[in-house]
């Protein structure tokens, strides 16, 4: 057997072991006895909007972000990070431009990102494409 074949087999085997080891285990459903404390709510998917208060496209995102925060309260966590006011807050995200939207799974994994102004319909379509069927929990506010 060629040395490159052996190396390829070892790399593939290591990748399989890593995937199996990192895959979250499914837990059995739990029930809460009457009168017992209710468990903490499950983490929500998050939409992180990195931008700046004085950036024009970022300003255009503000009403969309606020509508999502209100209409999907309890189903989606919406965050805004002003990278001009708090330069350190955005460093870990590796952004290239603002605004940048980062779609985060409840377990903290980044699922996708979009750069530039993004319409509400496109944001919701991205969540759907990622497998999240978000339903509004409140009526959208009207100006």
Q: What's this model's pTM, rounded to 2 decimal places?
A: 0.68
The per-residue pLDDT for 138 is 77
pLDDT at 8: 47
How many Å apart are CA 106 and CA 53, to the nearest integer?
27
Q: Which residues of the chain have pLDDT under 50?
A: 8, 11, 13-34, 36, 143
Cα–Cα nearest to 76, from 130, 5, 12, 8: 130
SS (H, E, C) 16-61: HHHHHHHCCCCCCCCCCCCCCCCCCCCCCCEEEEEECCCCHHHHHH
What is the pLDDT, as a whole number, of residue 39? 54
Residue boundaries of the structural domains of the chain:
46-129
Residue 1 has a pLDDT of: 63
Q: CA-to-CA distance for 54 and 27, rounded, in angstroms?
A: 46
pLDDT of res. 142: 52
Q: What is the pLDDT of residue 16?
A: 45
Domain 46-129, second-level architecture: 3-Layer(aba) Sandwich (3.40)
């Amino acid at each position: 057997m060629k040395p490159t074949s052996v190396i390829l087999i070892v790399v593939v085997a290591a990748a399989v072991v890593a995937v199996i080891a990192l895959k979250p285990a499914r837990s059995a459903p739990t029930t809460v006895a009457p009168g017992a404390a209710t468990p903490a709510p499950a983490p929500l998917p998050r939409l992180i909007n990195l931008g700046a208060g004085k950036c024009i496209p970022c300003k255009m995102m503000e009403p969309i972000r606020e509508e999502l925060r209100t209409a999907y309260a309890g189903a989606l966590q919406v965050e805004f990070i002003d990278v001009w006011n708090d330069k350190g807050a955005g460093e870990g995200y590796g952004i290239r431009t603002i605004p940048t939207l980062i779609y985060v799974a409840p377990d903290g994994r980044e699922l996708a990102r979009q750069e530039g102004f993004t319409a509400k319909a496109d944001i919701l379509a991205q969540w759907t494409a990622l497998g999240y069927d978000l339903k509004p929990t409140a009526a959208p506010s009207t100006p």
